[in-house]
Structure 1
Amino acid sequence: MKIIKNTIFVVVFLSTLQVFSQEILTKKEALAITLENNFGVKIANNNLEVAKNNTSIYNTGFLPTASVSSGANYSRNNQSLTFTDRDTGGDSEIAGSGIVSKTYNATLGVNYTIFDGLGRKYNYKQLKETYNLTELQARATIENTYLQLFTNYFQIARLSENEKNLKEALSISKRRMQRAKYTYDYGQSTKLEYLNAQVDVNNDSISYISAKQQLSNAKRGLNVILGIEKETNYNVETKVDYSTMLNFNDLEVKTLANNSLLKQNEKNIAISEFNIKVNKASYLPTLSFNASYGFNRTENENLINPFGAKLITSDGLNAGLNLSWNIFDGGSRKTSVANAKIALDNQEIALEQQKVTIKNNLKNTWENYKNQLFILKAQEQNVLSNQNNFDRTQERFKLGQITSVEFRQAQINLINAKTALNNAKFDAKLIELQLLQLSGDILNVAF
């Protein structure tokens, strides 16, 4: 629970209505809403509460048990007694019908296991490690939710930038079509020039409408992660900042020390070690204490036995110690201990395998990150070059020095360059977040 609470403490939570009354949904606001409303995070919180309950003293077996029982019985019978007279040697009989007997009882009992071979002790430690494991699983859920949130958030930012670029391109194409119409109406160009401009406007309109639809779909997808049911209309931040402190050696050290998957496997090893000790505890004897206080009362009516008691009452305290030792159980304990050791060995093998896999993923992700930063700089230069080329081409087109085909090609090159720059910008940030997730630092990112 403390991981989730500490994570939520990092951001300032704003209510859903407050956030969506604003024009821009910031990264901090999106993160705060997600941590509060995301379904996966809520389930992780509940699982953590269950694990916390399991580590309570009420679930450890260290406390005694107490029970109260009581009862009442009523009987109505016909009875007969036959006596033998020693002097005469004859028999005499006494009989009665409707003989009533009432019995009442109550008992308060207490039982406590003094020693169980240390099974309770190791079981409690195992439950604590299980809680720690659940805490790490909750942390992994939040880390995955972080990455999922910002993957969708930056996708919206990407599509927003693309939509803006396509809208600008459509505006340029419409102005070109209007110019082509004027020149055609005044006989300064052929109709083919005007028709080509119309085709380009239609194509740009289709691209713009498609971009708007993709953007709308992405926002609905983000709403699911935010845990918001109704559709909302908002913008997102498109500015991206990159960490300048990332170093592969530091990332590798942090990954081996803090990666949530590795930490979970380490807890599984600890749980398996305690599981062996729990199974070995059954080799030792068990000593328990029990005490009870009882009350009994019997009422007899219409006695036919002259020596019988009409009212019998008893109460008292009973206490005792019980020692049990299962010396041989047919070998099931030996099998359980052997299997527990094998399970521990498998966990240790899995940890080593996971370390190799995660280190390999870290190297690949780091290489992708460096390449993506290089691509980003190259795309920034491409946009500058294509923008300069388009501006010059546009001036020459207005002067009639180049054809509409050449102008259109320069326009398409600029659109493609801006789109590639958007892709490179947001892809680099997402890869950076993947690096931070592998190193266990993603929850410390400041947006």
Structure 2
Amino acid sequence: MGKRYFQCMGAERKYRNENGMDCLSFRIADDNAAGISISLWIGRNAMMTTALLLALLTGTVTGSGENMDLSGWVAMALDNSPAISSSEASLLSAEASFAGAESFLYPSLTATAGASRMWADSWSEEYGVVKVENDRYSAGLTLSQELLQSGGQNWLYRSASELTLLAVQADHQSTVLEVMRSVADSYYSVLEALQLKCSAETAHQRSLNQLQRTEQLYAIGAVTTLDLLQVQVQESADRLAVSRSSQRVLTAYTELYVAAGVDVAVCDLAIDTNAVLHPVSERAAESLSLDISRNPDLQAARFREKAAEKRYTASGRSYWPSLRASAGWSWQDGTLNNIDHMFDNDSYNVGLSLSWSIFDGFQRESGINSARASHLSAASARESMENSLEASVHSLKGNLLTDIQYYEDSKLMLEQAEERYRLSLSSYEIGALTLLELLDAQADLASAEANLVTAGVNALKTEASLLVQLGRPPRTGE
């Protein structure tokens, strides 16, 4: 697609819309199409719309900037998407939680030091009340290691935390696939809008040519006023279709910029219409395996179910005792003058401690019931997701086969419409066909062109959705 040259005709009028917002109405004309009226509201929320208008005026939306294929847009989205940034933050949090769950594997080392002074009064027969002051200095190190917490409860919690981390990793993969699908969907919407705009411009050019011929015939009295009005109405309708298709291009690019996480105000990118994918063949679609085991959402649900089961088992271990080993060194003295000989006045200790909670006010029972409910909920969520995915992928595959068949049929219908229009034009020129019949053939050709574009894009979108549901990235290149 070549460069497009736009001219802003200026603000036509300022008015207040039905929501009480001040608006400006602009009229834009280009070298190939009739004028387009665009209304902008004035205020802080108008920044995006104003930027889009500037992009339209400078040619960004119509492809005068750098062109990128689908793989380029996907790569940019993976770098800029806020959804992926949020998912990465959740992943870091899960990794930190797992590291915390492993802390029991390492011993704890505690250092202590203290200094105190004591004042006391004591009675003596010889001296009466005697005031006594004592200083006390101390230091110590304690090394302890948990050997077994409540019958291995800590190991079960570690396994549950690891499974939760795997679930969050699967969530991150799901987010990446969803961003890729969203970008592909928006990319195909832009492609559809551009191709429909091209089709509308072609249809308008046919109407314009027909109008010029009809006006010449009308000037010599070869056609009636009704015939001229019919052609004028058709040309006006096609001109309006061009204007609407231009607006759809603008809207489609907005959605693509949002999906890719880029700012339209500083972005000068467009899709590469020369690197466009085509729908897969019906045989290739039939051969697609509907194995949902790779779906990251399902994998995350399964990991969370296993994690909930581990926590439920761990909560039952709270009836068991805990075992801890410890070793320590300590020193204390009433003065610091002998600090050089502190190891002559120190002590060491080693020990094993066994603790067993006999009764805690039914806190254990409450924790067990809560963990059991969480396990049942996770199992239900996993089962529901499996059933939903099974139904979804079968439905999407059926839709894909239907879309591919309709795409192939649309090719044949376009060929038929082109041949009919060619024959109708020849018949009209020799007087064997009425003008109304020619206009009908012309409208059928425009409709067939639009149907082929829409059918191809629908097949590509359905294919992308199906691949993502199967846990596979959508196609971004041949």
TM normalised by structure 1 equals 0.80
Change in 2 beyond 3 A, CA 1:395/1:417: same
Offset, 1:101:
5.6
Is the 1:376–1:421 contact (alpha carbons within 8 Å) kept by the matching residues of 2? yes
For 2:441, give the aligned amino acid. Answer: A
**Within the alignment, does 1:242 sit opposite 2:276 as a pair?**
no
Q: Which residue of structure 2 lines up, in the alignment, with residue 365 of structure 1?
A: 396
Q: Which residue of structure 1 lines up, in the alignment, with residue 262 of structure 2?
A: 228
Q: Which residue of structure 2 lines up, in the alignment, with residue 320 of structure 1?
A: 351
Q: Which residue of structure 2 lines up, in the alignment, with residue 31 of structure 1?
A: 74
Is the 1:152–1:221 contact (alpha carbons within 8 Å) kept by the matching residues of 2? yes
Change in 2 beyond 3 A, CA 1:262/1:410: same
Is the 2:184–2:474 contact (alpha carbons within 8 Å) kept by the matching residues of 1? no
**Within the alignment, does 1:332 sit opposite 2:366 as a pair?**
no
Matches within 5 A, 1:6-405: 23-56=66-99, 59-73=102-116, 81-84=122-125, 92-93=127-128, 102-116=135-149, 117-231=151-265, 232-237=268-273, 238-242=276-280, 244-247=283-286, 251-252=289-290, 254-255=291-292, 257-299=293-335, 315-405=346-436
Q: Secondary structure at the match of 1:290?
A: strand
Q: Which residue of structure 2 lines up, in the alignment, with residue 406 of structure 1?
A: 437
Distance 1:246 1:298 in 2: 87
Offset, 1:316:
3.3
**Within the alignment, does 1:440 sit opposite 2:478 as a pair?**
no
Change in 2 beyond 3 A, CA 1:163/1:348: same
Change in 2 beyond 3 A, CA 1:164/1:138: same
Distance 2:166 2:406 in 1: 42
Distance 2:297 2:158 in 1: 24
Identity, % of aligned positions: 18
Offset, 1:134:
0.8
The number of residues matched between the two structures is 406
Distance 1:160 1:338 in 2: 59
For 2:128, give the aligned amino acid. Answer: E
Q: Secondary structure at the match of 2:142?
A: strand
Distance 1:233 1:118 in 2: 58
Q: Secondary structure at the match of 1:258?
A: coil
Q: Secondary structure at the match of 2:109?
A: strand
For 2:319, give the aligned amino acid. Answer: Y
Is the 1:286–1:324 contact (alpha carbons within 8 Å) kept by the matching residues of 2? yes
TM normalised by structure 2 equals 0.76
Distance 2:187 2:146 in 1: 57
For 1:169, give the aligned amino acid. Answer: A
Is the 2:389–2:469 contact (alpha carbons within 8 Å) kept by the matching residues of 1? yes
Contiguous gaps of at least 5 residues in structure 2: 1-62
Change in 2 beyond 3 A, CA 1:228/1:204: same
Q: Which residue of structure 2 lines up, in the alignment, with residue 430 of structure 1?
A: 461
For 1:25, give the aligned amino acid. Answer: M
Q: Secondary structure at the match of 2:112?
A: strand
Change in 2 beyond 3 A, CA 1:245/1:195: closer
For 1:291, give the aligned amino acid. Answer: A
Q: Which has the larger radius of gyration?
A: 1
1:30-87 alpha-carbon deviations (Å, 9 max, x no partner): 1211222211122222222222233337743211222333344467x6x765422xxx
For 1:216, give the aligned amino acid. Answer: L
Change in 2 beyond 3 A, CA 1:181/1:283: same
Is the 1:101–1:298 contact (alpha carbons within 8 Å) kept by the matching residues of 2? yes
Distance 1:23 1:223 in 2: 14
Is the 1:153–1:236 contact (alpha carbons within 8 Å) kept by the matching residues of 2? no
Is the 2:91–2:172 contact (alpha carbons within 8 Å) kept by the matching residues of 1? yes
Offset, 1:199:
2.9
Is the 1:101–1:299 contact (alpha carbons within 8 Å) kept by the matching residues of 2? no
Q: Which residue of structure 1 lines up, in the alignment, with residue 32 of structure 2?
A: none
Distance 1:208 1:62 in 2: 70
Offset, 1:141:
1.4
Change in 2 beyond 3 A, CA 1:444/1:220: closer
1:136-189 alpha-carbon deviations (Å, 9 max, x no partner): 111221222222111111111111110000011111222222223333344444
1:258-300 alpha-carbon deviations (Å, 9 max, x no partner): 2333322221221122112211222221111233333434359
Distance 2:307 2:469 in 1: 24
Distance 2:66 2:215 in 1: 39
Distance 2:64 2:191 in 1: 19
Distance 2:107 2:250 in 1: 61
Change in 2 beyond 3 A, CA 1:444/1:383: closer
For 1:371, give the aligned amino acid. Answer: T
Distance 2:240 2:113 in 1: 83
Q: Which residue of structure 2 lines up, in the alignment, with residue 11 of structure 1?
A: none
